[in-house]
């Protein structure tokens, strides 16, 4: 059996939608034991966020949404009604057997269940407690609900995205949620590492807004350094030229010319060698100043031939470029196939394997594994209660009769 990087780590996952589930899926891919706690008969909100849905074999009922499937593999699902005292007692029993708690309830939203960090830290001193929220545990907006779209707007991400004269534009995926999930993984792993030295857990406080602001990197630093806002450039770059999308005769490509040597090669490839010595274009700083002159000249040439023609010509001259792929192009790409970024898993609701996006983590000695498909709500309630809490069939039946579990 292959060693797993996080083998022996148990995560109690109270999160739903995307940021939290994305975090716990990544931890699960790395070998952690993820127990996903869901509301009986409802489960994670995203189970119903469709179409499209995975269809059950009889095609009479929809099973799970594509959205839910994207962030919930390698987890076991237990359905517990946390509004009941008995349900809260089960959560505490599971906490006693866990290393990490992850949730994305609003700030103080778990207080009524006795599950806020301050209510737990003395009882479970080794617990790593990861709280994901819109605005974090401090500040005047701490108790306000948070959403990816809202964080994209407030962080400045939307203001720098979109065409210069058009309205601000959000990114095509819930990118702040995804980045928050990634930051949550980093924070949890750091806290677990610190626990090895101190024997103590701690809170990992993640904010969608914080993660959105941090993601702006050079765009934010542009403002902090100059006091000016970087102009919105659409698919272009505020500080590098040419670094944008161009139309070809049959599609689109991007050029990412990052230095003057690459630009000289581009000029020769486009049969305009004089550009490489033109004082208006020879240096990146001057290309930025004269982008409105240079880029239309490049565009006029590139639209004369096909995408494949230009990709071959540009790559042969070591000029950074790429096609603008649609989803079918992505998953038919030899590179994506070789990197195993599409994986197949059996699913209990259909006889056909389902396809999922693979993990980007490639570890040589402790590779990720795909052991459990995204579970249906409450799929593992009985097995978790038996194996983890040593409850008998009679005790489980009593909890189910009282509506505490599904």
Residue 343 sits in the same domain as residue 306: no
What is the domain range of residue 205? 10-215+337-401
Active site (annotated) includes residue 365 = no
Cis peptide, bond prior to residue 254, ω within 30 of zero: no
Residue 279 sits in the same domain as residue 163: no
The CATH number assigned to the domain holding 33 equals 3.40.50.10540
- DSSP, res 249: S
Residue 258 sits in the same domain as residue 379: no
Residue 317 sits in the same domain as residue 360: no
pLDDT in tens, 361-374: 999 999 999 999 99
| Domain's final residue, options 323, 352, 373 | 323
Residue 310 sits in the same domain as residue 361: no
For residue 348, the model assigns a pLDDT of 86
Q: Is residue 353 part of a domain?
A: yes
Domain count, the chain: 2
In DSSP terms, 80 is beta-bridged to 405
**Phi, psi of 149, rounded to the nearest 5 degrees:** -60, -45
Residue 183 sits in the same domain as residue 270: no
For residue 73, the model assigns a pLDDT of 97
Tracing tokens 């470029």 back to the chain, one arrives at 321
| Measured CA distances, 209 to 115, 163, 180 (Å) | 24, 23, 9
Q: Is residue 226 part of a domain?
A: no
Residue 177 sits in the same domain as residue 132: yes
Kindly tell me the burial class for residue 327, based on how many C-beta atoms sit within 10 Å of its own C-beta (0-12, 13-18, 19 or more): exposed
Nearest-5° Cα angle at 25, 213 to 105 = 60
Residue 305 sits in the same domain as residue 396: no
Residue 267 sits in the same domain as residue 174: no
pLDDT-based confidence at residue 239 (cuts at 50, 70, 90): confident
Q: How far apart, in whole angstroms, are the C-alpha atoms of residue 332 and residue 330?
A: 6
Residue 315 sits in the same domain as residue 350: no
Residue 197 sits in the same domain as residue 297: no
Q: What is the mean pLDDT of the chain?
A: 95
Number of H helices, E strands in the chain: 16, 13
pLDDT in tens, 308-347: 999 999 999 999 999 999 999 999 999 999 999 999 999 9
**Which residue among the candidates 13, 177, 260, 329 is catalytic per the annotation?**
177
Q: Which long-range contacts (CB under 8 A, 24 or more apart) does 266-272 make?
A: 266/242, 266/298, 266/314, 266/317, 266/319, 268/317, 269/313, 269/314, 269/317, 269/319, 270/298, 270/301, 270/302, 271/301, 272/297, 272/301
Q: Is residue 158 part of a domain?
A: yes
Q: Is residue 314 part of a domain?
A: yes
Above 90 in pLDDT, residue 349? no
Q: pTM (2 decimals)? A: 0.92
Rounded to an integer, the average pLDDT of 187-212 is 98
Residue 311 sits in the same domain as residue 345: no
For residue 220, the model assigns a pLDDT of 95
């Amino acid at each position: 059996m292959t060693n797993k990087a996080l083998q022996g780590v148990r995560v109690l996952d109270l999160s739903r939608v995307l940021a939290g589930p994305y975090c716990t899926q990544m931890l699960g891919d790395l070998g952690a034991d993820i127990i996903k706690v869901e509301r009986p008969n409802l489960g994670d909100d995203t189970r119903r966020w469709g179409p499209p849905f995975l269809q059950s074999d009889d095609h009479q009922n929809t099973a799970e949404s594509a959205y839910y499937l994207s962030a919930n593999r390698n987890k076991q699902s237990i359905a517990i009604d946390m509004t009941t005292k008995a349900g809260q007692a089960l959560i505490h029993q599971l906490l006693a057997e866990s290393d990490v708690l992850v949730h994305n309830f609003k700030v103080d939203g778990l207080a009524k269940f006795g599950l806020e960090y301050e209510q737990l830290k003395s009882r479970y001193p080794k617990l790593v407690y990861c709280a994901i929220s819109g605005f974090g545990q401090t500040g005047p907006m701490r108790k306000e609900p948070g959403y990816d779209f809202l964080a994209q707007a407030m962080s400045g991400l939307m203001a720098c995205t979109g065409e210069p004269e058009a309205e601000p534009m959000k990114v095509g995926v819930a990118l702040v949620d995804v980045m928050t999930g990634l930051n949550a993984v980093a924070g949890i792993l750091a806290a677990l590492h610190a626990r090895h030295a101190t024997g103590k857990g701690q809170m990992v406080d993640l904010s969608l807004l914080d993660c959105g602001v941090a993601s702006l990197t050079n765009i934010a630093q542009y403002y902090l350094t100059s006091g000016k806002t970087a102009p919105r450039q659409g698919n272009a770059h505020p500080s590098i030229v040419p670094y944008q999308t161009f139309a070809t005769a049959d599609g689109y490509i991007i050029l990412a010319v990052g230095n003057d040597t690459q630009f000289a090669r581009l000029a020769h490839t486009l049969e305009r060698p004089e550009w490489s010595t033109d004082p208006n274009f020879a240096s990146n700083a001057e290309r930025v100043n004269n982008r409105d002159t240079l880029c239309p000249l490049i565009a006029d040439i590139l639209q004369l031939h096909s995408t494949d023609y230009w990709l071959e010509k540009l790559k042969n001259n070591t000029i950074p470029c790429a096609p603008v792929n649609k989803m079918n192009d992505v998953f038919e790409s030899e590179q994506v196939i070789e990197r195993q970024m599409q994986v197949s898993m059996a699913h209990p609701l259909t006889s056909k394997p389902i396809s999922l996006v693979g993990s980007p983590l490639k570890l040589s000695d402790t590779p990720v594994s795909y052991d459990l498909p995204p579970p249906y709500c409450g799929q593992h309630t009985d097995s978790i209660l038996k194996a983890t809490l040593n409850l008998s069939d009679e005790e489980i039946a009593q909890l189910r009769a009282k509506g505490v579990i599904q």
